[in-house]
A = this chain, B = another copy of it.
Amino acid sequence: MMIECASQKSACAECSYEKFCFNKQSIKISGKEHYLKKNESLNLSEDKFKGLYVIREGALKAYKTDPDGNELIHGLYLKNEVYGYESIYKGEYFFSATALCETILCEISYPKFLDLLSSNSHLLDHLLHLMSHQLTFGAYLKSITAQQRLAAFILDLFSRLLIESSSLISFYLPLSYQDIGRYLGLATETISRIFSQLKKEKIISIENKCIQLLQIDKLKSIAEGFLIH
C-alpha cells in the first residue's frame, strides 16, 4: 500500500518571508529567483556575503568538506526557511549549499533588507522571531544516544515542515540516510539500523522516502528532554 504524502503546495502567500517579498512591497528587495535541480549547488563558500536565500520550495544542505574529504553538514534549510543569516557577521559565506531536491530560492539583497526592516518595525519584530526560532534548531545534536538523536531529528523535521493531512501524520524525507548520518554525526548503517528498529516497533513507517509517524508519543519519549519546541 502506498502511503499518501501530504503535498507541499507552493504559494507566496504561505511564505514566512512573504512580507519581505518584492511582490508585496513597494521596496523591491527580492531580485533574483534561483531554480536548482537535485544536487545542484549555489557554491557560495568563501564568496562575499551579499544576501539571504529564502527557500520557497525544496530544501538545502549547507556543508563543508574536511581535509579528509568527508562532507560535514552544518545545517538543513527547509521550505519557508532562510539560508544565510550565519554569514552576516563574517561578511562571507561559510558553506557550500546544495539542493536536496528540486528547489526554488528567492534571493534577498542584504542592504535592501536592512532598509526595509528599519522602515517597518512590524517586519523587524517578525524577523527577530524568525531568527530567534532558528537559534533553537539542532539542540538535539547533543543528545547522547543515536536513537535519541534520530527521534528528535524526525520530530524536528515534522514540526518544521508543519504538515498534517487529516489523520495521516506523514511527510517526505528530503534527505538520503547518508546525509542524515552526516548531519547527525552518525554512520549511515546506524541510521538504517535505527529506522529498521523503529519500523519493527511500529513507531514509524517508511515507504519511498515518505515517513509516517504512527506513534508520536513514543517517539517523543525516546527523544525525551532534547526537544524544545
Binding site for B on A (CB under 8 A): 64, 66-68, 70, 72, 74, 85-90, 94, 114-115, 117-118, 120-121, 124-125, 128-136, 138-139, 141-144, 183-185, 224-226, 228
Residues of B within 8 A of A124 (CB): 114, 117-118, 124
Give me the 6 closest cross-chain CB pairs, A-B, nearest first.
A66-B225, A88-B132, A118-B121, A89-B132, A142-B185, A89-B129
Q: Min CB distance, A43 to chain B, in Å?
A: 18
Decide: A85 and B225 in contact? CB cutoff 8 A.
no
Residues of B within 8 A of A67 (CB): 224-225
Residues of B within 8 A of A134 (CB): 135
- Asked if A132 meets B85 with Cβ closer than 8 Å, knowing A118-B118, A124-B114, the reply is yes
Name which residue of chain B comes closest to A91, CB basis: B129
Residues of B within 8 A of A125 (CB): 114
Decide: B85 and A135 in contact? CB cutoff 8 A.
yes
Task: Give Cα A224–Cα B184 distance, bound, in whole angstroms.
Answer: 17
Q: Min CB distance, A130 to chain B, in Å?
A: 7
Q: Looking at the complex, which one of B94, B184, B225 makes contact with A142 (CB distance below 8 Å)?
A: B184
Decide: A225 and B70 in contact? CB cutoff 8 A.
yes
Residues of B within 8 A of A86 (CB): 132, 135-136
Task: Give Cα A86–Cα B74 distance, bound, in whole angstroms.
Answer: 19
Task: Give Cα A225–Cα B85 distance, bound, in whole angstroms.
Answer: 20
Decide: A128 and B184 in contact? CB cutoff 8 A.
no
Task: Give Cα A107–Cα B70 distance, bound, in whole angstroms.
Answer: 43
Residues of B within 8 A of A89 (CB): 128-130, 132-133, 136
Decide: B64 and A225 in contact? CB cutoff 8 A.
yes
Residues of B within 8 A of A228 (CB): 64, 74, 94
Name which residue of chain B comes closest to A66, CB basis: B225
Task: Give Cα A117–Cα B85 distance, bound, in whole angstroms.
Answer: 18
